[in-house]
Amino acid sequence: MLGSAAQDYLKNIYKLQLEHEQVTPALLAARMAVSAPAVSKMLRRLQSLKLVNYTRNQHLSLTPSGEQIALEVIRHHRLLEVYLMQALGYTWDQVDEEAERLEHHISEEFEDRIDSLLGYPTHDPHGDPIPTREGHMEPPTRGTLADLSPGQGGRISRVSDDDPAMLRYMGRLGLYPNAPIRMLEQEPFGGPLLVRVAGVEHAIGRELAGHVFVTKSEEEPL
């Protein structure tokens, strides 16, 4: 049985493949906050198990078998996030860390039961798509709030969930998935952005805007 550490490597390689044209060992080491020698050792093991395609100092990718395992772990994680919020009262800034601890230890039967109990959700609390049991997952939205021009709008599709403090701040501003949003003004020289979220105006920084992913539409009610 593949251990939790190996599963974490596969999960993070998969996520990096969605974000970058090429995934390198150095990029993976930075993402997981581990040393280069530790990454090389694990990649050699995963390569021997035919889960990763890897050539030293070159880009790496998952094999179909590696991708299947990564998607299963991601499915567990995101279903758990929904379950923790809806059934146990966790807030959206708490669920990622808790799901990280549990994702490797639930059975397929438990997965099926919470999926049914939750009404077969398609997205987690942060708007990220949940892979199907068959291992299919819709591509995540890539365009961010920072990419909008004044006058453009749409709906928030997902937000980055890496920083609990950032999520708490986003929550205070109403930057939740499916909230309508429109860019009103952009101050020059890296200044703040004036946006309207669900009818309320806010000035937010460009760094934060880069963590809010938006599906554009000119017909959203605001």
DSSP letter string, 42-103: HHHHHHHTTSEEE-TTS-EEE-HHHHHHHHHHHHHHHHHHHHHHHHH---TTTHHHHHHHHT
What is the domain-level CATH number for residue 205? 2.30.30.90
User: Is there a domain that residue 56 lies in?
Assistant: yes
Identify whether residues 190 and 150 lie together within a single domain: yes
DSSP conformational letter for 145 = G
Identify whether residues 154 and 205 lie together within a single domain: yes
- What gap in Å lies between CA 120 and CA 133, rounded to an integer? 11
User: Is there a domain that residue 166 lies in?
Assistant: yes
Identify whether residues 169 and 210 lie together within a single domain: yes
Check: CB of residue 211 under 8 Å from CB of residue 158: no
Identity of residue 37: P
**Per-residue pLDDT, 59:** 86
User: Is there a domain that residue 211 lies in?
Assistant: yes
Check: CB of residue 92 under 8 Å from CB of residue 125: yes
Strand 193-197 relative to strand 52-54, pairing: unpaired
DSSP conformational letter for 190 = T
Identify whether residues 161 and 124 lie together within a single domain: no
- What gap in Å lies between CA 182 and CA 185, rounded to an integer? 9
End-of-domain residue from the set 139, 155, 188: 139
Identify whether residues 203 and 166 lie together within a single domain: yes
End-of-domain residue from the set 62, 85, 103: 62
- What gap in Å lies between CA 16 and CA 19, rounded to an integer? 5
- At how many degrees (to 10) do helices 25-32 and 4-19 cross? 110
Query: What's the farthest any 2 CA atoms get from each other in the chain?
Result: 54
**Per-residue pLDDT, 139:** 86
**Per-residue pLDDT, 221:** 46
Identify whether residues 168 and 201 lie together within a single domain: yes
**Per-residue pLDDT, 170:** 97
Identity of residue 201: E
Measure CA 132 to chain center: 16
What is the domain-level CATH number for residue 19? 1.10.10.10
For the whole model, what pTM was predicted? 0.90
Cβ neighbour number for residue 156 with a 10 Å cutoff? 23
User: Is there a domain that residue 155 lies in?
Assistant: yes
**Per-residue pLDDT, 56:** 64
**Per-residue pLDDT, 97:** 94
Identify whether residues 160 and 102 lie together within a single domain: no
Identify whether residues 154 and 132 lie together within a single domain: no
Identify whether residues 210 and 150 lie together within a single domain: yes
Coil vs helix vs strand at 169 = helix
User: Is there a domain that residue 132 lies in?
Assistant: yes
User: Is there a domain that residue 160 lies in?
Assistant: yes
Token couple for 134: 């068959």
Identify whether residues 82 and 107 lie together within a single domain: yes
Sign of the alpha-carbon torsion through 6, 85, 155, 203: negative
**Per-residue pLDDT, 57:** 61
User: Is there a domain that residue 221 lies in?
Assistant: no
End-of-domain residue from the set 102, 120, 139: 139
User: Is there a domain that residue 222 lies in?
Assistant: no
**Per-residue pLDDT, 218:** 60
How many domains, the chain? 3
pLDDT tens over the chain, length 222 residues: 789 999 999 999 999 999 888 899 999 999 999 999 999 999 999 999 999 998 766 789 999 999 999 999 999 999 999 999 999 999 999 999 999 999 999 999 999 999 999 999 999 999 999 999 999 998 888 899 999 999 999 999 999 998 999 999 999 999 999 999 999 999 988 899 999 999 999 999 999 999 999 999 865 444
Q: What range does the domain containing 11 cover?
A: 4-62
User: Residue 182: which residues within 8 A CB-CB, separation 6 or more?
Assistant: 148, 151, 152, 153, 154, 195, 196, 220, 222
